[in-house]
């Protein structure tokens, strides 16, 4: 599952950007001792003065570059704090003028005025938090820690403003008689919902406590994020002996040597960790002890009792979230979150996950039996005692089974998957065939890191649609995962066009070597570009609805649809060519790739569902039931057992102490990937049945869904495109999970699948 997207700035989203900087693997930050009850004018007044000369701060005005592209070449770390300070102060002045307007509230003088407010803060915070995710440093971490609670307080100062809420509430009551269009009516409704969900109807005493909770959560979530990044770097596995790296490619070994040299460990090798539990080198490493070391280093992150230990942070965050949910009238944080998603209720999420989990775990156990049989055979052939399959063995023996069953291994693919060709001859090629887009790389715009590329994006008529930023390589200053964010969002009201970015974490090869991708990295590139298309095709009036500002459990849907083009025959034939000879990928190899698509899906689905159900378990707790720091891992183990996903060889994709998604925008929402995949599978089925890669299909998807952003009900957008309600069967078929789960006599009986209703995925 690929994380995606940044929280986008807006009146109700500023603190979200502070705590989930570049989404899905959240970037919340560290502490600054600012009392939550203070309003933003106090915060701004107390902020350190003269941190930069105002005259040279590029954030203070709109960028003069095309489409307001950020002036990365002029930006210095000293510019961020003054811009954030001034941005908060100006925004609060604008909001107070709206709230105190003596005229009767109208759509123009209240809602539209709010949509036009906060431009400096949006520009400063958006640029800053995007860079924190992509290329952080000590100075940025300090600013991030200081401003997370300040931005939370700023949001509270707006959404808990009684006079402002009174105006919004009045318009909400009158919305059907105002004579404004459907998008405007929906905007009024969304503002009202945001204010209510933020606590606008609470008593003053309750509001005071709510502000304290929000400020403390901003500090804690920030600390969690910084701990995760720091320990990923600190937990890298050091290898003394080159022979221990047998199984890795020469390129991978050279990269490990370079990583060691950068740390002053000449003559050694460093295996850097990725953010997930499973670590890619374990697919190929022959040395079982080294595989075990890597796995144990991975799962111990955040719970070692060192300075990066996150168990206490988790306990405090879950307790505060539960308290806040109860204050707002909800049974738990999950109920609070899901009410505003397409799922609507925790029960709806349970219904879908409980359909999938028994089948997935049963399939994983069958896969595990096949792996154990291979281990037994190999050990017997060597005359050595066998051993029990462990998590650090799974990827290694899975690759062996793949080779035996499909007669190929991943290493055979990589020479045909050169990164530049995948992007320009694959991702861009598909976008041209579907939507008529063309792309031109430009080197005259500044970038924040030398590895970043920039492209102009043109519509079929030659007009500029957007600017696309592509940031492919992993580095210590970049958070894990893959995601999209927007530096500038489209809006007719503001007259802006999109500047969007995709970020991956592909290991950078040694100098002079080509970047050869795994198949998963290829599909990730297509996936993240699906998010970029969602942002670039936005065609809405109001910033609130622009691009990816849709429910969390809908936002992954368009990006997952875009993955289908990675192995579409005409697309793959255009990019999958040997990087040295230019020869196309042999049809025989392609056939093996396609035939193996459902291979190991029991594992993949189980590790994901274990994490998704763990997320739900944490967020169903009331404050009095949240375990203390010392019991966090025990709670996790009990939750996995209760959910039926505690199959030892397949641990969760993320364990709680490094589960960054649930500290940001995916709290109680990690289920969103599989929820969205139901819509995706239905949509892919529709496209395949209606001609596939055609302009007609692309234009239909663009016009009826991608361009609409959040301006219409999300599931209605799906129905507008597909012409029917979503069904779960296409997803089960895609993942090869249609076989009955009969292997485990203790597993609960399968529920019959049913159509997905317009509310939740149906029961």
Whole-angstrom Cα distance, residue 549 to residue 23? 12
Specify the DSSP class assigned to residue 26: -
**What are the C-alpha distances in Å from 87 to residues 14, 122, 485, 512?**
11, 8, 21, 44
Q: How many CA atoms lie within 13 A of 318 on its CB side?
A: 28
The number of residues in the chain equals 763
Lookup: tokens for 374: 């291979």
Residues 9, 15, 16: CA angle, nearest 5 degrees? 70
**Is 528 tagged catalytic?**
yes
Q: Give the pairing of strands 483-488 and 499-506.
A: antiparallel
The alpha carbons of the chain give a radius of gyration, in whole angstroms, of: 25
Of 347, 348, 359, 345, the closest CA to residue 748 belongs to 359
Residues 403, 404, 406: CA angle, nearest 5 degrees? 65
Whole-angstrom Cα distance, residue 251 to residue 579? 15
Which member of 122, 367, 528, 636 is catalytic?
Answer: 528
Q: What φ, ψ does residue 486 adopt, rounded to 5°?
A: -115, 130
Whole-angstrom Cα distance, residue 657 to residue 63? 40
Residue 501 forms beta bridges with which residues? 469, 485
3-state helix, strand, coil in the chain (%, to 5): 55, 5, 35
Query: What secondary structure, in 3-state letters, does 35-72 show?
Result: CCCCCHHHHHHHCCCCCCCHHHCCCCCCCCCHHHCCCC
Whole-angstrom Cα distance, residue 127 to residue 61? 13
Q: How many CA atoms lie within 13 A of 674 on its CB side?
A: 27
Of 224, 114, 156, the closest CA to residue 16 belongs to 156
Of 493, 322, 521, 346, the closest CA to residue 427 belongs to 521
Sheet holding 453-458, edge to edge: 438-441, 453-458, 464-473, 499-506, 483-488
Of 234, 417, 212, 238, the closest CA to residue 324 belongs to 212
Give, rounded to a whole angstrom, the gap between the first and last alpha carbons of the chain.
24
Q: Residue 266 burial by CB count (10 A; 0-12/13-18/19+): exposed, middle or buried?
A: exposed
- Catalytic (active-site) positions: 528
């Amino acid at each position: 599952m690929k994380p995606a997207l940044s929280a986008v700035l807006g009146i109700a989203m500023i603190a979200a950007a502070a705590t989930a900087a570049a989404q899905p693997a959240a970037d919340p930050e560290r502490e600054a001792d600012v009392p939550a009850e203070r309003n933003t004018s106090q915060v701004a007044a107390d902020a350190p003065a003269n941190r930069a000369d105002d005259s040279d701060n590029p954030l203070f005005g709109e960028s003069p570059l095309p489409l307001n592209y950020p002036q990365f070449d002029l930006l210095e770390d000293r510019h961020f704090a003054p811009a954030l300070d001034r941005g908060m102060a100006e925004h609060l002045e604008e909001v107070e003028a709206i709230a105190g307007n003596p005229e009767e509230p109208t759509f123009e003088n209240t809602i539209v005025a709010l949509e036009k407010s906060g431009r400096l803060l949006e520009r400063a915070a958006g640029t800053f938090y995007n860079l924190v995710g992509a290329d952080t440093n000590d100075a940025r971490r300090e600013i991030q820690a200081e401003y997370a609670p300040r931005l939370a307080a700023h949001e509270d100062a707006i959404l808990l403003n009684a006079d402002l809420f009174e105006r919004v509430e009045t318009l909400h009551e009158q919305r059907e008689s105002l004579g404004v269009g459907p998008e405007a009516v929906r905007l009024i409704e969304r503002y009202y919902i945001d204010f209510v969900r933020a606590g606008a109807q609470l008593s003053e005493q309750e509001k005071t406590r709510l502000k304290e909770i929000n400020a403390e959560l901003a500090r804690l979530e920030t600390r969690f994020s910084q701990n995760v990044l720091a320990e990923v770097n600190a937990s890298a596995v050091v290898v003394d002996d080159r022979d221990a790296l047998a199984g890795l490619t020469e390129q991978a070994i050279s990269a490990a040597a370079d990583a060691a040299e950068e740390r002053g460990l000449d003559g050694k090798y460093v295996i850097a960790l990725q953010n997930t539990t499973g670590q890619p080198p374990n697919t190929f490493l022959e040395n079982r002890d080294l595989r075990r070391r890597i796995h144990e280093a991975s799962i111990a992150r955040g719970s070692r009792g060192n300075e990066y230990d996150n168990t206490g942070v988790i306990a405090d965050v879950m307790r505060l979230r539960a308290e806040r949910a109860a204050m707002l009238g909800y049974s738990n944080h999950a109920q609070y979150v899901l009410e505003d998603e397409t799922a609507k209720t925790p029960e709806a999420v349970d219904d879908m996950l409980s359909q999938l989990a028994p089948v997935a775990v049963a399939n994983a156990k069958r896969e595990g039996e096949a792996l154990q049989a291979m281990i037994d055979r190999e050990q017997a052939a060597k005359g050595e005692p066998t051993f029990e399959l462990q998590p650090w063995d799974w990827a290694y023996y899975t690759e062996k089974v793949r080779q035996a069953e499909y007669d190929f291994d991943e290493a055979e693919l990589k020479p045909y998957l050169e990164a530049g060709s995948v992007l320009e001859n694959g991702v861009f090629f598909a976008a041209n065939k579907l939507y008529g887009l063309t792309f031109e790389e430009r080197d005259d715009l500044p970038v924040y890191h030398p590895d970043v590329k920039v492209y102009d994006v043109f519509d079929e008529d030659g007009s500029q649609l957007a600017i696309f930023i592509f940031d492919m390589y992993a580095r210590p200053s970049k958070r894990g995962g893959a995601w999209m964010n927007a530096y500038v969002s489209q809006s007719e009201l503001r007259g802006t066009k999109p500047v969007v970015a995709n970020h991956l974490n592909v290991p950078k090869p040694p100098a002079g070597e080509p970047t050869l991708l795994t198949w998963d990295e290829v599909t990730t590139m297509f996936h993240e570009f699906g998010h970029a298309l969602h942002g670039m095709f936005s065609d809405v009036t109001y910033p609130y609805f622009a691009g990816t500002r849709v429910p969390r459990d809908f936002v992954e849907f368009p990006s997952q649809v875009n993955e289908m083009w990675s192995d579409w025959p005409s697309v793959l034939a255009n990019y999958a060519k040997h990087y040295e000879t230019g020869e196309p990928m042999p049809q025989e190899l392609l056939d093996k790739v396609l035939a193996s698509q459902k291979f190991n899906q029991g594992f993949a689905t189980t590790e994901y569902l274990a994490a998704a159900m763990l997320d739900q378990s944490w967020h169903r707790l009331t404050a009095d039931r949240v375990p203390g720091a010392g019991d966090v891992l025990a709670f996790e183990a009990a939750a996995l057992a209760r959910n039926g996903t505690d199959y030892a060889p397949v641990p969760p994709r993320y364990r709680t102490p490094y589960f960054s998604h649930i500290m940001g925008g995916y709290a109680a929402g990690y289920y969103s990937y599989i929820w969205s995949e139901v819509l995706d599978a239905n949509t892919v089925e529709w496209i395949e049945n209606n001609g596939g890669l055609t302009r007609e299909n692309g234009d239909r998807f663009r016009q009826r869904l991608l361009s609409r952003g959040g301006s219409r009900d999300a599931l209605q957008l799906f129905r507008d495109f597909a012409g029917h309600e979503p069904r779960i069967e296409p997803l089960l078929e895609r993942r090869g999970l249609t076989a009955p789960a009969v292997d485990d006599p203790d597993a609960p009986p399968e529920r019959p699948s049913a159509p997905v209703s317009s509310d939740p995925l149906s029961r």
